[in-house]
Structure 1
């Protein structure tokens, strides 16, 4: 009897040892690959690496690519802040964009982190679909501040004879689908104090809209060359007033958020300086000071990535300063 117990113990010992050895030798599963993200090799980066989910199967909006930029020496032992950016295909490599310009996000992120001016962060870039970009990025609920007649004539302002706004669905995709995926796939801090949204032009409007609709999700927004016009510039255009009335009612009060706005005065940006006093008044009425909200003017700057990449350090430092 004792003999068989002894044999059983020996077998059990070697079995456990083999299992332990097997568990050590098995490679750790790559969460990025499991989620469908693949590293983009044919891209010119100043630093870091780029992973792409080629076609996110959203139930809210039309499927599109999503990019995630990771800094050099990205580690799963550390939790990073996250900056969600619109127009993702314009952020990293000018050789692959339609106008041969880029935001230089990887350049600025690498330099600012390297100089210890900002907390460590990753960037999530949501690609746009040019034909429906306006519908995706217009702050949809601002339409409620138009009269019935103005709503019916909205085609006169956006240049489309028929339209279906998707701003709320775009935010549903961002908050209810994409953010949970990023939170479980990458090593990030999930709280609002480490979650930001940034964009230019219509993306600036959507960034303002995101922090207004989901103030418990986003701790700050950077709205660069914000397209206060709302659509095509014109002498008779009720959209700016509707947008500002929406902001008066829904932009979060000061205390828990950081808001960055800016504008130039060339090309499409020439239409924005007239709205600066209204933006300033809204921020002041909400209790913001220069410590948590700015609306900066850049003389001679136009509406392009080449202008935005010259000052991208300012919104990044403003939102992500240590």
Structure 2
């Protein structure tokens, strides 16, 4: 793989046009490979109308008015909001005025376009990294294998022959390899075809019945599953276990079952630890579901994990109880069934459920890898848990009943600081005005707290969706994709394919510094050894864990020996 010169295109930029202020909010690419853009536009939209921004990139709705990003009104009829857009693109966009009502939200005629030509800007690029395209490994018994693919905004399809580089898991199977595929960081849509005994064959995704798609940059396709690590020769299927958790905290709330989804290869990959998603109304989460239907969470997770879109995740469905109408409501509020007891439910989760889960299963216990999600009242308790604790870092209030916690919204979001979470929210257009208006009010409050759409906030509208399990099943994929993006974790295959290579070594004043390419989720260690044949290596510098998709890390030895042969190496660990 050719190493490319490192160029950084960063820093704020501004353009004023039609009373528009556009600026790069942070100047740099985020940990999700996007650039946060601050939009600001002064316009009196008229009563009942709101301002949206839409453009030529999926992060701005791909010119679909219903998928545009809503801005929030501020004094002087100035509409503002931060939107994160994939780095390195030539962006075209316009402001549009829409009626923000459930009855007309999905109507393509519900739009007034800004007059004049499209507005345009070039977004800062990714920092250069160890690769400039994607790499694919593939196990197959075919005599040849070819990729047919499309990547990012390029709508053309391309073909690439894969190279046979070795044997497979058994005689008659081969390991194929291809690099130089598409562009890093972008969505790759692909299929594989080949021949065996003179007959053509196609490998379609079992999850879709057609194309595979993933944003991973280095991956292994084996038996219809995409992996960001070297997969075991024989995969193990996911499974679901049920456990009874007693409530021990005082005041006690009802004890109950939890249902634990363990993803593919959990039993095989004993080296691996997993993020945990806690979902409420556990009776309805997995098949066969409850009296009101089923979310089919295991089917949604299986599909997205197999595509390399969602992280392999432990999902814990926590059953509700006879006290649900109070347990899911903040203690400062009363939804008509008595004062809320979400603080007691929170203690049950944190002090009873989580210790069991963390001691029984191989979990990652930090805040960004501990998540909670639910719908209706389960949606608002998810938001409550994110704001009331330092335990849950990502929350998914689906069809949230914010009307039931007006005091909590006012105290903790409007008057408080709700920043620091990753929030997925959604709503169906057939759920009623009591649901529709409050969720948009909270969306505006989160924008005011500095949230950026597509970065740490996502809002999805379900056209024609009602308030039921079938609707949440159909939208759950969006929550999983956003909260559990497969690119959020270290890509072991990428690190193996592109290990750190020392460059730009500088010796100055008794100190030695060196640079190396870095990949997300890895910490880098500079080690030193002396002598002609180095054998004993000592650590002299350690980097922070890389947060960007890829970057360059600089490591320094402040006490570099001035005499004798000195060797340096960089070691990476997730």
The verdict on a shared fold, with TM-score over 0.5 as the criterion, is yes
Partner of 1:49: 239
Counterpart Cα distance in 2 of 1:277 and 1:90: 26
Cα distance, 1:52 vs structure 2: 1.2
* TM-score normalized with structure 2 length: 0.41
Q: 1:199 to 1:269 in 2, by over 3 A?
A: farther
Q: 1:56 to 1:242 in 2, by over 3 A?
A: closer
Q: 1:220 to 1:241 in 2, by over 3 A?
A: same
Q: 1:176 to 1:251 in 2, by over 3 A?
A: farther
Partner of 2:458: 294
- 1:269-301: CA deviations, max 9, x gaps? 442222244112211111000111122222211
Residue 72 in structure 1 maps to residue 256 in structure 2: no
Residue 105 in structure 1 maps to residue 297 in structure 2: yes
Q: Confirm or deny: 8 A CA contact 1:220 1:259 kept in the other structure.
A: yes
Residue 175 in structure 1 maps to residue 366 in structure 2: no
| 2:406 aligns with one of 240, 243, 246 | 240
Partner of 1:88: 282
Partner of 1:21: none
Counterpart Cα distance in 2 of 1:276 and 1:171: 22
| 1:217 aligns with one of 378, 391, 404 | 391
Moved more, 70-79 or 85-94: 70-79
Structure 2 portions without partners, runs of 5+: 1-236, 488-574
Identify, as 1 or 2, the structure richer in helix.
Answer: 1
4+ runs of 1 displaced by more than 4 Å? none
Q: Confirm or deny: 8 A CA contact 2:402 2:439 kept in the other structure.
A: no
Counterpart Cα distance in 1 of 2:439 and 2:353: 33
Counterpart Cα distance in 1 of 2:467 and 2:415: 28
Residue 135 in structure 1 maps to residue 326 in structure 2: yes
Counterpart Cα distance in 2 of 1:174 and 1:250: 24
| 1:202 aligns with one of 351, 356, 377 | 377
- 1:204-255: CA deviations, max 9, x gaps? 00000000011x211110000001221xxxxxxxx536534432244531xx
Cα distance, 1:58 vs structure 2: 3.1
Larger CA Rg, structure 1 vs 2: 2
Q: 1:277 to 1:127 in 2, by over 3 A?
A: closer
Counterpart Cα distance in 2 of 1:250 and 1:49: 41
* TM-score normalized with structure 1 length: 0.71
- How many aligned residue pairs are there? 245
Q: Confirm or deny: 8 A CA contact 1:265 1:271 kept in the other structure.
A: no
Partner of 2:248: 58
Cα distance, 1:257 vs structure 2: 2.2
Counterpart Cα distance in 2 of 1:213 and 1:242: 10
Residue 305 in structure 1 maps to residue 499 in structure 2: no
- 1:28-62: CA deviations, max 9, x gaps? xxxxxxxxxxxxxxxxxxx6211111342433321
Counterpart Cα distance in 1 of 2:323 and 2:364: 32
- 1:7-27: CA deviations, max 9, x gaps? xxxxxxxxxxxxxxxxxxxxx
Q: Confirm or deny: 8 A CA contact 2:295 2:470 kept in the other structure.
A: yes
Q: Confirm or deny: 8 A CA contact 1:263 1:269 kept in the other structure.
A: no
Cα distance, 1:78 vs structure 2: 0.8
Counterpart Cα distance in 1 of 2:295 and 2:417: 27
Higher relative contact order (Cα pairs below 8 Å, separated by 6+ residues): 1
* Secondary structure of the corresponding residue to residue 217 of structure 1: coil
Counterpart Cα distance in 1 of 2:339 and 2:407: 21
